[in-house]
Amino acid sequence: MIGKKLIKVFFLFIVLALLQLLPLDTAYAVPSFARQTGMPCNECHTIFPELTPFGRIFKLGGYVLSKSSKPYEFPPPLAGMVQVSYTDSKGLTSGVAPFDSNNRATDRINLPQQLSLFYGGRIYDKIGAFVQGTYDGVSNKIFLDITDIRYSNNAIVWDKNLIYGLTLNNSPTSQDVWNTTPAWGFPFASSGVSSTPAAGAIIDGALDQQVGGIGAYVYWNNLIYQEGTVYRTARNGITKPLGAGTTTEQVVDGAVPYWRLALEQRWKNHFFTIGTYGMQADIFPSGNRSGPTDRFTDIAFDAQYQYMGTIDPEHMQEHMQMDGEHMAKAGKHIITAHATWIHEDQDWKASFPFGNTANASDFLNTFRMNLNYYYRSHVGDIGGSIAYFSTTGKTDNLLYSPDSVGGSRTGSPNSDGFIFEADYLPWQKTKIALQYTVYNKFNGAHSNYDGFGRNASDNNTLYALVWLMF
Amino acid sequence: MKRILGCAVVVLFLGATPLLARSFEVNEFDKGKTLYKNKCQFCHGIRGDGKGPAAEPLLGHPVDFTDSKFWQDDVEKKINVEKKIEDTIKKGKEMMPAFDLAPDEIKAIISYMSHTFKKATQSNN
């Protein structure tokens, strides 16, 4: 049995190694976008998937920027991704997911953690898409992952540039271009099998692939970004395809408005952004599809600082010769800092009368900040990140009740800790990451947080990841 | 009679030639305008001043076509400006990638740029 597993593991490694040898691109990390634009991946990414200022514009431009004169791309802009990971945390099992059918959700080795196929690029003329189909090795399921289909155009308004467009997407904040909002926020990848805190705001990933929505946005003078999107459930109706392969556990009632406002200002090679975003969702209590709903109102603020380094003309020549391609005109040293604070009001209009919560209303405050430093060296890109995260809220003994590992002895949702990460990209399409998550408090307490003797530090997680794009 | 008809054909042909040429020019101009809008405008701007929506995020500034210096031939390298533009489109330069455009498409873009931005610099001068 073990022998068969090893053969499968060995076979997969060979396949991954061969994928790296495919002459699809010499220096591109997101091949379909890179093939389409003729630009290297680090034009749009500091270290993928974090976006550079130009990457943000490319996304707002509808993914349609192309070196070809045809209104469509042929062959279609397809790309792939494989994530292979190892997780070490107390209580995990020694099997290999997905081959170990009994303990997939707790297996240390995920081979793959995720396997994705992308349609990334122009569909026709000014319509483009980022569509990700994913096989998840932990859940052993195939589903439509993040999907963002756009129409974009530009004009001059009040003597300044205006980018305007429409977005059709299935995960609130996935359409956003700053890496401060939840869908594309730090950490950019994390373990699929480690324990995570019980409490989280609705806008913080709970509605991913649970809804589908269409929105409009404008970005004026590289300064002001405004967006409004309306979502509805992906359980049925016209938005159902956007939740393909995912069980709709969070069924929203009616329309869910999402809003976003951001201001970006550049000073030399420094880019500063402040913004706000939020949504209001009426959600049926778990298991219900009709009747009363709970109301969640999320209001968030975010800020980003990005230093893109400087490069003199001599180094520019050196960079161009190094790859034989047009290297991004970023410096060798890149710094990015993100922060976001999300406040959520939870009005248990349905759950409280049903006896599912102890309070008629609760709240959550989520705060995250991280600092990333990247160095573009001759032997690849090297990066390091440090992050702090915190969730606090009102104690609710029914919502957060004692349970082994995932529960709370105190009824408090409070958790906080740090994440340390080191990244190395030997090639632009390969990322090797080592991440360590340290919990100071987990589900309300430092020690015996679950009422079953488990301490917050028992959830400290070492996570090693190999992330390949091809 | 035949002579009159022949003369008429010649006159018509001569008369139509400028119109055909103008029509061709207009078509090339329009084609170039569309191509410029789809391929160049995002960085170089609607006005060709190098201030398109993507210009600011690029750490280097895209070339300003409304600067008269841009339209000067490179005397040292003995390259005229049209050849310089053609080479840049075909091969890319610094941050600008190479574009897969046919010779007639490149010609159309140059035609549009010359008629729009070069003329603007001349009228400003």
pLDDT in the model for residue A384: 96
The answer to whether the CB atoms of B100 and A219 lie below 8 A apart is: no
H or E element that contains A430: strand A430-441
Supply A158's token pair: 């009040």
pLDDT tens across A176-231, in order?
A: 999 999 999 999 999 999 999 999 999 999 999 999 999 999 999 999 999 999 99
The answer to whether the CB atoms of B102 and A156 lie below 8 A apart is: no
Q: Tokens 């009228």 correspond to what residue?
A: B123
Least confident of A112-121, A131-140, B85-94: B85-94
ipTM > 0.85 (yes/no):
no
Structure-model confidence comparison of residues A428 and B124, the more confident one: A428
Least confident of A68-82, A410-424, A453-467: A68-82
Sign of CA dihedral A248, A251, A256, A260: negative
**C-alpha closest to that of A113 among A149, A133, A138, A95:** A138
Sign of CA dihedral B23, B24, B30, B33: negative
CB-count burial class (<10 Å; 0-12, 13-18, 19+) for B1: exposed
Supply A179's token pair: 């890496």
- The mean predicted confidence, pLDDT, of chain B is 81
pLDDT tens across A267-323, in order?
A: 988 999 999 999 999 999 988 889 999 999 999 999 999 999 876 555 555 544 444
- pLDDT over threshold 60, residue A401: yes
C-alpha A218/C-alpha A228 separation (Å) is 10
**Cis peptide before A49, with omega less than 30 degrees from 0?**
yes
Ramachandran class of A100: left when φ > 0, alpha when ψ lies in -120 to 50, beta otherwise: beta
Chain B residues in contact with A304 by the CB 8 A cut-off are none
- pLDDT over threshold 70, residue A167: yes
Sorted by sequence, the CB contacts under 8 Å of residue B20 that are 6+ apart come out as none
Min Cα–Cα distance to chain A from B59, Å = 6
- pLDDT over threshold 50, residue B53: yes
Q: Are A111 and A133 in contact (CB under 8 A)?
A: no
Residue of B nearest to A73 (CA): B100
Confidence of residue A20 (pLDDT cuts 50, 70, 90): very low
**C-alpha closest to that of A417 among A383, A450, A455, A454:** A455
- pLDDT over threshold 60, residue B13: no
Confidence of residue A121 (pLDDT cuts 50, 70, 90): very high
Q: Tokens 């991440």 correspond to what residue?
A: A435
pLDDT in the model for residue A326: 39
The answer to whether the CB atoms of A329 and B59 lie below 8 A apart is: yes
Among A67, A225, A311, which would you mutate to test the B interface (most chain B Cβ atoms within 10 Å of its Cβ)? A67
Q: What's CA A152's distance to the chain center, in Å?
A: 22
Compute φ and ψ for B120, nearest 5 degrees: -65, -40
Task: Give the pairing type, strands A107-124 and A93-97.
Answer: parallel
C-alpha A307/C-alpha A337 separation (Å) is 9
SS3 A387: strand
Confidence of residue A1 (pLDDT cuts 50, 70, 90): very low
Task: Give the percent of chain B with pLDDT over 70.
Answer: 77
Min Cα–Cα distance to chain A from B78, Å = 23
The answer to whether the CB atoms of A329 and B95 lie below 8 A apart is: yes
Q: Can you state the angle between helices B103-113 and B2-35, rounded to 10 degrees?
A: 80
C-alpha A433/C-alpha A430 separation (Å) is 10
**C-alpha closest to that of A195 among A91, A291, A288:** A91
- pLDDT over threshold 70, residue A255: yes
Average of per-residue pLDDT across B48-73: 88
Confidence of residue A22 (pLDDT cuts 50, 70, 90): very low
Task: Give the percent of chain A with pLDDT over 90.
Answer: 82
Confidence of residue A62 (pLDDT cuts 50, 70, 90): very high
The answer to whether the CB atoms of B92 and A326 lie below 8 A apart is: yes
Chain B residues in contact with A222 by the CB 8 A cut-off are 53, 56-57
H or E element that contains A4: helix A2-21
**C-alpha closest to that of A25 among A92, A80, A87:** A80
Task: Give the percent of chain B with pLDDT over 90.
Answer: 46
- pLDDT over threshold 80, residue B24: no
Structure-model confidence comparison of residues A244 and B61, the more confident one: A244
Confidence of residue B8 (pLDDT cuts 50, 70, 90): low
Sorted by sequence, the CB contacts under 8 Å of residue B86 that are 6+ apart come out as B106, B110
CA dihedral B2, B6, B7, B8 (to 10 degrees): 100
Count CA atoms closer than 13 A to B67's CA, side-chain side. Answer: 9
- pLDDT over threshold 60, residue A5: no
The answer to whether the CB atoms of A329 and B46 lie below 8 A apart is: no
Rg (CA), chain A: 22
C-alpha A48/C-alpha B33 separation (Å) is 35
Which DSSP letter does residue A125 get? T
C-alpha B58/C-alpha A39 separation (Å) is 12
C-alpha B53/C-alpha A56 separation (Å) is 11
- The mean predicted confidence, pLDDT, of chain A is 91
C-alpha A335/C-alpha A271 separation (Å) is 10
Chain B residues in contact with A163 by the CB 8 A cut-off are 53
The answer to whether the CB atoms of B53 and A58 lie below 8 A apart is: no
C-alpha B40/C-alpha B27 separation (Å) is 19
Residue type, A316: M
The answer to whether the CB atoms of A328 and B102 lie below 8 A apart is: no
CB pairs under 8 A between A and B: 84
Among A57, A153, A178, A321, which would you mutate to test the B interface (most chain B Cβ atoms within 10 Å of its Cβ)? A57
pLDDT in the model for residue B44: 94
C-alpha A292/C-alpha A349 separation (Å) is 7
- pLDDT over threshold 60, residue A29: no
The answer to whether the CB atoms of A329 and B98 lie below 8 A apart is: no
Residue type, A84: V
Confidence of residue A6 (pLDDT cuts 50, 70, 90): very low
Average of per-residue pLDDT across A228-248: 97
